């Protein structure tokens, strides 16, 4: 799939993926770590889409290690890294590691041996062109709260002092947006620079710690953020990967309204639905009349959400707002969407049904905070 230059984040271009994991081990933990790595290596070797991996040790500092892995594309890696099997397989490593950092790159260029056929095949799996953007990336998590506790959770999440946005000279938190749909919460952040540094900084803020502690009794998934393993499992399960971000090729309007739309997919069709919405948003980016200026599609399993920045009111152009403008697009969405899950039944050929779907899909905004430095 060839991406437009307007796409700055994407898991859909089909290029090979290189994953880099930097680790700093505790003193005396090397043998335990090597045993854990061997167990993980044997398991991941059979995961569909996995090509290879390497374990490397620093020639300067023996406590510093590097794991690199190569994947056919981002999609099988994301499916693996967010799976319950992955959580269990990597658990033994955590007690060995003092610090870790994960980075993910699609392969754009490479030097290859003079083997024409092999080189041609290799080039076919490279990222086709460099993506461009502002350096600000979008990330999200999602979790559910106990039914009946929604109003209490909204009060907690909407009323706290924002953390300091500037983390260091190169990293800052630009924006935090929270939404709810029924008992599901989605929190999206915009980060310039190092995501991990931002998350660690925010998690250390007393006001944020108080909020996280306050919502703990209402969560459907138990967690203890004071326990590193419990926190790691919770946030791994809550991760809602950004599958694509696209922005229009026109000057950003002075006033944009942010919405998060919730698209529960037919069982087993979440990735297909996310890909469909991503293609639609990429095509719409070149439409000067589209009310959607920017869109980010997030997906995990059969949970698909789409955060959009729009001009005007959503219901003035429900097809564009839903990301289904064009012949046959509404029918395609209807095929992939579990309309009953959000209380919408009937053909999307009906304008009334479209408006009803848009009303149900539009998540309730809880808070939307933009840094003064943005």
Encoded tokens for 276: 């469909």
What is the spatial distance between Cα 43 and Cα 53, in angstroms, rounded to a whole number? 12
**DSSP string for residues in 197-257:** HHHHHHHTSHHHHHHHHHHGGGBSS---TTSHHHHHHHHHHHB--EEEEEE-SSPPPS--E
Do 185 and 145 meet the contact criterion of CB atoms below 8 Å apart? yes
In this structure, the number of other CB atoms found within 10 A of the CB of residue 244 comes to: 25
Backbone angles phi, psi at 279, to 5 degrees: -60, -40
Alpha-carbon torsion 94, 97, 99, 105, what sign? Answer: negative
C-alpha span between 259 and 273 (Å, rounded): 19
HSE of 290 in the Cβ direction (CA atoms, 13 Å)? 28
Question: Which residues, at least 6 apart from 168, have a Cβ–Cβ distance to it below 8 Å?
Answer: 193, 197
Exposed (0-12), middle (13-18) or buried (19+): which is 56, by Cβ within 10 Å? exposed
Contact 335, 326 (CB under 8 A): no
Residues 6 or more apart from 50 whose CB is under 8 A from it? 44, 69, 70, 71, 72, 76, 77, 80
Task: Tell me the two tokens of residue 238.
Answer: 């809550």
DSSP 315: G
Are 87 and 234 contacting, i.e. CB atoms less than 8 angstroms apart?
Answer: no
Distance from the first to the final alpha carbon of the chain: 32
| Residue 279: per-residue pLDDT | 93
Average pLDDT for runs of 10 along the chain of length 374: 74 94 96 95 94 97 97 95 92 91 91 59 74 88 97 93 86 94 96 85 87 95 88 90 92 90 94 96 88 95 96 89 88 86 71 86 94 62
Q: Is the dihedral of CA 16, 80, 341, 152 positive or negative?
A: negative
Tokens standing for 347? 């053909």
Spatial distance between the Cα atoms of 160 and 341, rounded to a whole number of angstroms: 32
pLDDT at res. 354: 85
What is the per-residue pLDDT for 117? 46
Q: What is the pTM of this model?
A: 0.91
């Amino acid at each position: 799939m060839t991406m437009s230059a307007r796409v700055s984040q994407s898991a859909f271009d089909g290029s090979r993926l290189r994953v880099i994991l930097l680790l700093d081990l505790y003193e005396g933990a090397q043998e335990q770590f090597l045993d854990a790595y061997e167990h993980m290596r044997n398991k991941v070797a059979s995961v569909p889409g996995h090509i290879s991996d390497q374990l490397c040790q620093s020639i300067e500092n023996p406590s510093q290690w590097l794991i690199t892995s190569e994947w056919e594309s981002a999609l099988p890696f994301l499916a693996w890294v967010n799976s319950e099997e992955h959580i269990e397989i990597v658990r033994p490593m955590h007690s060995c590691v003092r610090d870790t950092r994960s980075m993910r790159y699609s392969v754009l260029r490479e030097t290859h041996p003079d083997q024409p056929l092999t080189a041609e095949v290799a080039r076919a799996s490279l990222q086709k062109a460099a993506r461009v953007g502002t350096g600000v990336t979008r990330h999200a998590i999602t979790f559910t709260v106990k039914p009946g506790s929604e109003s209490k959770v909204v009060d907690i999440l909407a009323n706290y002092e924002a953390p300091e946005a500037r983390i260091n000279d190169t990293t800052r938190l630009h924006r935090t947006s929270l939404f709810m749909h029924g008992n599901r919460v989605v929190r999206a952040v915009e980060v310039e620079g190092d995501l991990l540094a931002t998350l660690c900084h925010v998690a250390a803020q007393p006001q944020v710690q108080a909020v996280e502690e306050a919502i703990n009794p209402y969560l459907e998934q138990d967690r203890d953020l004071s326990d590193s393993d419990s926190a790691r499992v919770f946030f791994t399960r809550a991760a809602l990967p950004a599958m694509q971000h696209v922005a229009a090729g026109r000057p950003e309007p002075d006033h944009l309204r942010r919405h998060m739309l919730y698209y529960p997919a037919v069982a087993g069709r979440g990735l297909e639905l996310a890909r469909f919405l991503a293609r639609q948003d990429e095509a719409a980016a070149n439409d000067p009349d589209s009310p959607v200026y920017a869109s980010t599609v997030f997906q995990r399993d059969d949970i698909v959400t789409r955060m959009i920045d729009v001009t005007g009111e959503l219901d003035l152009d429900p097809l564009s707002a839903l990301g289904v403008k064009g012949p046959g697009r509404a029918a395609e969405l209807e095929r992939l969407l579990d309309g009953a899950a959000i209380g919408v039944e009937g053909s999307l050929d009906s304008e009334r049904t479209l408006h009803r779907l848009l009303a149900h899909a539009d998540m309730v905004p809880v808070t939307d905070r933009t840094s003064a430095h943005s």
